[in-house]
Amino acid sequence: MSKGVTIWFTGLSGAGKSTIALILEKRLRKLGAKVEILDGDVVRTNLSKGLGFSREDRDTNIKRIGFVCNLLTRNDVIAISAAISPYREVRDYNRQLIGNFLEVYTRCSLDKCIERDTKGLYKKAIAGEIKEFTGISDPYEEPLNPEVVVDTDKETPEQSAEKVFNKLEELGYLDHLNKTAAV
């Protein structure tokens, strides 16, 4: 088995994807893993600048993230994607492209996401100031069979990161790190 894997966090804005990804990244780096995070906001600024929020543009953005994750994964890097990625079809496309793929549904109630919203995006979307906002005026398609579900309105970010870490261990993606760390 390749040492590389893509950990694909999906969920509503404010669900905790980036927070958990950062905790997981830190823990994996301590074990000596090569890790890269592709955060949805950062990718939109640097790799997908100019794309809007139509379904076609969102699909293009998520496929670009998948392309980069595939390159990283096949070069034995643990790639972590933290992007809303609202549409099941494109997540499934990336799963097929990448192969070593761990989907993490970052489940959180809409009310809690709205409560956490420091940028005021939900408020603007509810007021109609932002069109095509996932969870308000645009759909979010929950994963059907994610490898991990974290309930971020019930768990701490550390507990959620632990669940993902444990699944990586269970599936053997960290075996080479454990052996190296034990030496």
Q: What is the mean pLDDT of each run of 10 residues along the chain (183 residues)?
A: 87 96 96 92 78 85 95 96 95 97 97 93 92 90 97 97 96 76 46
- Sheet containing strand 35-39, strands side by side: 35-39, 78-82, 5-10, 101-107, 148-151
How confident is the model at residue 178, as a pLDDT? 57
Q: Which residue type is seen at 25?
A: E
Instruction: Determine the Cα–Cα distance for residues 38 and 170; give it in Å rounded to an integer.
Output: 24
Active-site positions? 85
Q: What is the pLDDT of residues 112-124, one digit of tens each?
A: 999 999 889 999 9
How confident is the model at residue 182, as a pLDDT? 45
3-state secondary structure of 85: coil
Beta bridge partners of 138: 134
Helix (H) / strand (E) element for 7: namely strand 5-10
- Burial class of residue 68 in the structure, from the number of CB atoms within 10 Å of its CB (0-12 exposed, 13-18 middle, 19+ buried): middle
Whole-model pTM: value is 0.92
Which tokens go with 45?
């600024």
Instruction: Determine the Cα–Cα distance for residues 9 and 69; give it in Å rounded to an integer.
Output: 12
Domains with residue ranges and CATH for the chain: 5-109+139-182 (3.40.50.300)
